């Protein structure tokens, strides 16, 4: 039995972190810390109705065919290319969401109805088709199969309610797959693709364990070998503890570890590349400096210093000239502003001396632009204010006179005096700035002339080039600083640490549970395979990755993929039935118990072998709550093995539907 200590506590102990840290990591990743045992997930089909109009030369015209299916083994018998495989594909379309392979006869269909019991719930799937595409569809739930069989639409009075509606094939596939995952109590099988992308496999992957793939397929369980899906299916169908959670944990660990490793590798590579670049530049700079020193010594040792000093002085004076010019322009702006203010104040003084209205408006606002649209007032508005005594802002008349004209005039005179003083100070500052700018400009021109003369006086052209090389390489080195070591994200480190501990803990749980189940599973597979005609088989050994090793022919070990197609088919069926038997013995929910097999006789199985296989499969299906649909073109085979009520056949050469 698995350790009864809480999973989060065991993970925390293994990762050496607090339990709260484990919870926070799982919550951040959206992964549950545990999943309760699966609910029963049996799946049975009861009725398939096909309606449409057949075209061509073989019995053309309308048709409406219904098939009834019971538990146990049912054979679909008809001549080749007469609709046997298409029945399996139409069942698959209804239950899986899409057919595995489109049959050429599907274009005849206008209506497809399938009634099934999904995890104990009676359901009906109603598809309306045109040109092999769904035009509308609905899934129904009902109280029982008898009620559903009479309806193609909801009937609340009889307890038949809609589960979903779809208007096209894509919508139907999406919704039926979500429905089946929910009702069959299944979780997406998540895997990491190339270590960078999480890929979720849903109901179609599970359905591959119901519809047997071609016998030559390399997959033991399901129809996809990639991403370890056969092993994932086996673990889910054995209800190993939190199999889907373990898959998510492993996938997320892989994704996060790969992302961190790639980021660190990129940073390390960038560091190495930057170090190589700096090393090359430093080597080139050392050589350039040695060359410059050699040329300077040859020139007497003074030339380089003179040129460097002059260049530095020129640079300093250029900066000073630019700053002085910028200061002069600002002072010029302030002087113009002060002059304009003095002129406005003088005009206002003249107005208040001559006009009572002006004196009355003296202490009010004097806007130059409209406060709403920010546009300047027209000259006419100002003239009207003086001439007609109407406000320049609102155009309303202004009446009356002030009671103390002398005070207003005095205040206006004071304003003129203040603005005149401000204008004077601004002019003095501007003149001072002009003087300083002229001086700096003269100094700059003189320094530039001396620098040109000094450069022209250099008698060794290589000296100037060597100096330029040193400056260029120093600049290149300054813009290539050493890169820091890759940053460590504490949250990421904690998540990876916790997820790795979780994967190991869940693996331990799986191993303990698998040891209990796989011994029984191996024994059941061996016994069933021999029953199905694998006479040379001695024993089998299957692991959690669904790798099957077969011992036969006096102790020779071979893998599942080494077997011939007929033996692969027997082994696949044996694994499914063994899952059901082990599940029943251990009271766990396993395979849904529905199996579709297309033309087993075509898989290189001799007549005597196929008779034995079907006989034993019929017995096993009856005793293990298994529903099996097989197709065959061999009329005598079906009647030799099965009673008439378990055979759905068409006359030789006639269509099955």
pLDDT digits (tens, 9 = 90+) for 489-521: 898 899 999 999 999 998 888 788 888 889 999
What average pLDDT does the segment 159-182 reach?
96
Alpha-carbon 100 to chain mean position: 27
Instruction: Give the highest mean pLDDT range of 28-37, 232-241, 468-477, 603-612.
Output: 468-477
> What is the 3-state composition of the chain as percent helix, strand, coil, each rounded to the nearest 5?
55, 15, 30
Structure confidence at residue 351 (pLDDT):
77
At 268, phi and psi to the nearest 5? -65, -40
* DSSP bridge partners of 118: 43, 121
What average pLDDT does the segment 20-35 reach?
86
What average pLDDT does the segment 625-631 reach?
92
Structure confidence at residue 399 (pLDDT):
59
Give the whole-angstrom CA distance, residue 568 versus residue 114.
Answer: 30
Structure confidence at residue 467 (pLDDT):
85
Do 283 and 515 meet the contact criterion of CB atoms below 8 Å apart?
no
Q: What confidence tier does 590 reach under pLDDT thresholds 50, 70, 90?
A: confident
Structure confidence at residue 559 (pLDDT):
93
Least confident of 75-79, 134-138, 482-486: 482-486
Q: What confidence tier does 479 reach under pLDDT thresholds 50, 70, 90?
A: confident
Three-point CA angle 326, 328, 331, nearest 5°: 115
**Residue 103 pLDDT > 80:** no
Of 319, 321, 311, 292, nearest to 454 by C-alpha is 311
DSSP strand E in 393-461: where? none
**Residue 657 pLDDT > 60:** yes
Q: How many residues does the chain have?
A: 657
Residue 17 C-beta-side C-alpha neighbours within 13 Å:
23
Q: Residue 485: which H helix or E strand, with range?
A: none
What is the percent of the chain with per-residue pLDDT over 70, rounded to a whole number?
87
Structure confidence at residue 304 (pLDDT):
47
Give the whole-angstrom CA distance, residue 189 versus residue 79.
Answer: 39
At 632, phi and psi to the nearest 5? -160, 150
Higher pLDDT, 130 or 268: 130
Higher pLDDT, 236 or 133: 133
Q: Determine how β-strand 647-649 pairs with β-strand 72-77.
A: parallel
Q: For the chain, what is the largest distance between any 2 Cα atoms, rounded to a whole number of angstroms?
A: 134
Structure confidence at residue 6 (pLDDT):
85
Give the whole-angstrom CA distance, residue 91 versus residue 575.
Answer: 23
C-alpha distances (whole Å) from 242 to each of 33, 59, 245, 450, 503 are 9, 54, 5, 85, 11
Do 581 and 524 meet the contact criterion of CB atoms below 8 Å apart?
yes
**Residue 198 pLDDT > 60:** yes
**Residue 1 pLDDT > 50:** no
How crowded is residue 556: how many other Cβ atoms within 10 Å of its Cβ?
11
Least confident of 176-180, 257-261, 405-409, 514-518: 405-409
Higher pLDDT, 300 or 229: 229
Higher pLDDT, 636 or 516: 636
Structure confidence at residue 552 (pLDDT):
86
**Residue 432 pLDDT > 90:** yes
Q: Residue 50: which H helix or E strand, with range?
A: strand 43-54
Structure confidence at residue 269 (pLDDT):
87
Higher pLDDT, 239 or 616: 616
Structure confidence at residue 365 (pLDDT):
46
Give the whole-angstrom CA distance, residue 195 versus residue 255.
Answer: 5
Structure confidence at residue 302 (pLDDT):
47
At 397, phi and psi to the nearest 5? -70, 145
Least confident of 97-106, 205-214, 348-357, 538-547: 348-357
């Amino acid at each position: 039995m698995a350790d009864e200590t809480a999973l989060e506590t065991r993970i925390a102990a293994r990762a050496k972190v607090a339990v709260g840290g484990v919870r926070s990591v799982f919550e951040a990743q959206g992964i549950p810390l545990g999943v309760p045992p699966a609910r029963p997930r049996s799946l049975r089909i009861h009725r398939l109705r096909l309606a449409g109009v057949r075209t061509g030369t073989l019995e053309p015209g309308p048709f409406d065919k219904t098939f009834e299916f019971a538990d146990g083994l049912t054979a679909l018998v008809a001549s080749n290319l007469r609709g046997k495989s298409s029945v399996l594909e139409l069942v698959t379309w209804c239950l899986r969401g899409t057919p595995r392979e489109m049959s050429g006869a599907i274009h005849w269909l206008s209506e497809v109805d399938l009634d099934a019991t999904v995890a104990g719930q009676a359901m009906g799937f109603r598809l309306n088709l045109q040109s092999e595409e769904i035009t509308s569809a609905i899934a129904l739930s009902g109280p029982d199969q008898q009620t559903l069989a009479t309806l193609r639409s909801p009937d609340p009075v009889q307890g038949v309610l809609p589960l979903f509606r779809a208007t096209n094939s894509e919508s139907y596939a999406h919704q039926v797959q979500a429905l089946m995952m929910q009702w069959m109590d299944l979780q997406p099988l998540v895997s990491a693709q190339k270590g960078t992308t999480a890929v979720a496999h849903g109901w179609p992957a599970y359905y591959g364990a119901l519809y047997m793939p071609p016998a030559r397929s390399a997959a033991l369980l399901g129809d996809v070998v990639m991403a370890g899906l056969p092993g994932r299916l086996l673990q889910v169908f054995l209800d190993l503890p939190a199999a889907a959670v373990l898959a998510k944990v492993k996938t997320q660990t892989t994704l996060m570890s790969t992302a961190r490793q790639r980021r660190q590798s990129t940073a390390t590579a960038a560091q190495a590349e930057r170090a190589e670049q700096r090393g090359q530049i430093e080597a080139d700079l050392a050589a350039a400096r040695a060359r410059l020193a050699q040329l300077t010594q040859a020139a007497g040792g003074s030339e380089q210093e003179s040129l460097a000093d002059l260049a530095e002085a020129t640079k300093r004076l250029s900066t000073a000239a630019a700053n002085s010019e910028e200061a002069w322009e600002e002072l010029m702006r302030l002087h113009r502003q002060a002059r304009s203010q003095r002129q406005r104040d003088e005009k206002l003084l003249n107005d208040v001396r001559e006009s009572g209205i002006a004196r009355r408006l003296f202490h009010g606002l004097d806007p130059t632009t409209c406060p709403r649209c920010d546009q300047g007032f027209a000259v006419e508005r100002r003239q009207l204010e003086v001439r007609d005594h109407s406000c320049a802002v609102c155009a309303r008349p202004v009446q009356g006179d002030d009671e103390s004209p002398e005070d207003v005039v005095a205040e206006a005179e004071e304003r003129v005096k203040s603005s005149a003083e401000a204008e004077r100070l601004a002019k003095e500052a501007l003149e001072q700035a002009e003087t300083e700018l002229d001086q700096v400009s003269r100094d700059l021109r003189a320094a530039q002339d001396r620098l040109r003369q000094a450069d022209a006086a250099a008698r060794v052209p290589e000296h100037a080039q060597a100096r330029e090389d040193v400056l260029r390489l120093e600049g290149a080195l300054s813009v290539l600083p050493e890169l820091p070591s890759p940053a460590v994200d504490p949250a990421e480190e904690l998540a990876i640490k916790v997820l790795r501990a979780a994967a190991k803990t869940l693996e331990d749980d799986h191993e303990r549970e698998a040891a209990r189940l796989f011994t029984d599973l191996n024994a059941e597979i061996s016994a069933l395979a021999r029953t199905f005609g694998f006479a040379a088989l001695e024993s089998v050994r299957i692991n959690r990755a669904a790798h099957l090793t077969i011992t036969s022919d006096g102790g020779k070990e071979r893998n599942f993929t080494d077997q011939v197609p007929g033996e692969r088919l027997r082994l696949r069926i044996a694994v499914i039935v063994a899952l059901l038997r082990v599940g029943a013995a251990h009271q766990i929910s396993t395979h849904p118990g529905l199996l579709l097999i297309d033309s087993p006789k075509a898989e290189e199985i001799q007549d005597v072998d196929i008779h034995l296989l079907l006989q034993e499969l019929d017995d096993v299906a009856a005793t293990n709550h298994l529903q099996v649909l097989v197709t065959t073109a061999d009329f005598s085979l079906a009647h030799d093995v099965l009673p008439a009520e378990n055979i759905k056949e068409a006359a030789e050469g006639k269509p099955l539907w």
